[in-house]
Structures are given as structure tokens and as C-alpha cells.
Structure 1
Amino acid sequence: MKTIFDKAVRDELTNRINSLGESSQAQWGKMNVYQMIKHCNTWNAWVQGKQHSDLRQEFLGKIFGKMALKSNTRDDTPMKKGMPAGKAFTIKEKAGDVAVQRDILKGLIADYAHFSNEGFIHDFFGKMTKEQIGVFAYKHVDHHLRQFGV
């Protein structure tokens, strides 16, 4: 399975991120390219322990989280369209500097080479192993890049 902890996978994601520009259009969903990249930045910074570290597992996650995590990390099946972003990761601002956000995202992807937040608790899935984090982080970024056709 692809994992964000693999350098070749990080390089592939970085090349795809480089293809995003101001005129990139979503093939599904409500976010524009700026919102999508900023959403990915916020989410990856959270996974790496750089922000939103105070989020706790939701009640429904305590019931269904482990089952959903297992189904999302058991194979290379891409994430489905229409997955909810979560309130903490919804980007309300509609415009900004895409190039700056793209560079931030590439830096966050590179930072997975030195990942050290193994106590990470996802707000829905709960406690995740490093292997699960690697697979899901890849799938999350891949999902949004596919959303914009790259």
C-alpha cells in the first residue's frame, strides 16, 4: 500500500501538487483550488502535531471510528467523493495566494520524512498507528489532488 512515509510517494505527490495553479478547477465538491490546498495544509499540520492538537475524538467516532479507519486503510482503494471535511478543516476564505499555499503543502509533505507525532488521535478514527497514519495521509492528499484532476 502507498504510504506518505515512502520518499517515492512523497515525490509523486509533490510533482502532482506542482501541477496545481490558480485556474485549476474541481471535478467534484464545493472547494476551489485555494480552499483545497489550504484545507490540506491545515489537515497535514494537524496530523503532524503543528496545530489543532486539542481536538478530541467525536462521540460517533468512538462508536464507528475504528471500523471506518480499517475500511479506509486496508487497501489502496481511493477515498470516495463527498467525504466530510470536519468543522475544524473547513476553509471559509475563498481566495488567497495559491502559490504560497502550494509551497506550504509541499513542505508539509516533505516533513513526513521526519514524522514524530505517533500519539496522534484523529477526531473521528481515534488513535491511529504510524502505518495507518501513513496510508490515510497519502489517501487524503491523493483524494484532493484527484478532485482537481492531478
Structure 2
Amino acid sequence: MKSLFNTEAHQEILERMDALSEDTKGQWGKMKVGQMLHHCQFPLKIALGRYNPNNKPNPMLKLMGKLFRKSLYNDKPWRKGLPTAKGLRVTEDKNFSEEKAKLIALINDFHQEKNKEEWDPHPAFGSFTPEQWGQMQYKHLDHHLRQFGV
């Protein structure tokens, strides 16, 4: 599985981001491209300790999280139209250029942490290895870039 800590995968994601434009349409789902760019910031902010969703998962969501956990970083692509966690949904319109610049900065900040050994646990899924954190971030970005055809 590719990792956002890997230089080649990091560069690939940035090149795919560069292929997006304000007019890029999603191939599935309800988000517009600016909303997707904003949404993709949340997992990176969580990993970097810059965002903690207020909503704590209920016991059923925790159980589902344990079952879903390995799919966060394995090689199997996520299916189209997966539900989005309540605290990570974006329904209001977002400025494409601003959100793209913010996301690129977060991607670069995350990549710079490639040698970090200790990571805080994810608020919903618990502890991950550094390798798993890098794979999760790549996989989430890949999912949404595929959603927008890049």
C-alpha cells in the first residue's frame, strides 16, 4: 500500500491535485470539488493534532470502527458512496483556490512528519503505527481524487 510518507506517493498526490480545477465534477457523491478539498483536510488535521471532532463515537460506531479499521490502510480501494462521519461532512460551498492551497499545505506538513515515531491515537479508531498513518492518508486522498477523476 502506498503511503503519503513515501516521496513518490507524495509527489503523485500533488500532481493529481494539480489536475483539479474549479470546474472538475465528481463522478459520484454529492460534494463539489471545493467541498471535497475541505473535507480531505480533516483526516490530515486529525493526524497532525490540529483537529479533534467533538462527536465521540457511540458504542455501535466503535464496534463498526474496529471492523472497518483494517480497510483504512489496506490495498483494497474504498467503494463509491461510503458514508461520511458527521463531524467531517461539508455541505456549504467552499472556495476552490483557498481550499486547494490549504490541503496542499497540510499534505506537505504531513509528509514532513515521515520520521515521527509516536502518534496520538485517532479519536475514533485508536492507535496506528506510523506506517498505517501514512497509508491511511494516502488512501483517503486517493479515494477522493478518483471521485473527481484525477
Structure 1 length-normalised TM: 0.87
**Equivalence for 2:132:** 132
Q: In structure 1, how many angstroms separate the alpha carbons of the residues matched to 2:144 and 2:43?
A: 12
Structure 1 unaligned residues grouped into runs of 5+? none
Show the 5 A alignment for 1:56-71.
Answer: 56-71=56-71
Identical residues among aligned pairs (%)? 35
Structure 2 unaligned residues grouped into runs of 5+? none
**Equivalence for 1:85:** 84
1:55 offset after TM fit, Å? Answer: 5.3
Q: How many aligned positions are there?
A: 147
Q: In structure 2, how many angstroms separate the alpha carbons of the residues matched to 1:35 and 1:8?
A: 26
Compared with structure 1, are the counterparts of its residues 104 and 46 closer, same or farther at alpha carbon in structure 2 (3 Å cutoff)? same
Deviations 1:83-129 (A, max 9, x none): 121111111212x3211211111111111223357113242x23222
Q: In structure 1, how many angstroms separate the alpha carbons of the residues matched to 2:87 and 2:110?
A: 21
1:146 aligns with 2:146: yes
Compared with structure 1, are the counterparts of its residues 49 and 78 closer, same or farther at alpha carbon in structure 2 (3 Å cutoff)? same
SS in 1 for 2:78: coil
Give RMSD over aligned pairs: 1.9
- Quick check: 1:57–1:126 contact (8 Å CA) kept in 2? no
1:102 aligns with 2:100: yes
- Quick check: 1:121–1:127 contact (8 Å CA) kept in 2? yes
Structure 2 length-normalised TM: 0.87
Q: Runs of at least 4 residues of structure 1 off by over 3 A?
A: 53-58
Compared with structure 1, are the counterparts of its residues 132 and 58 closer, same or farther at alpha carbon in structure 2 (3 Å cutoff)? farther
Q: In structure 2, how many angstroms separate the alpha carbons of the residues matched to 1:73 and 1:122?
A: 16
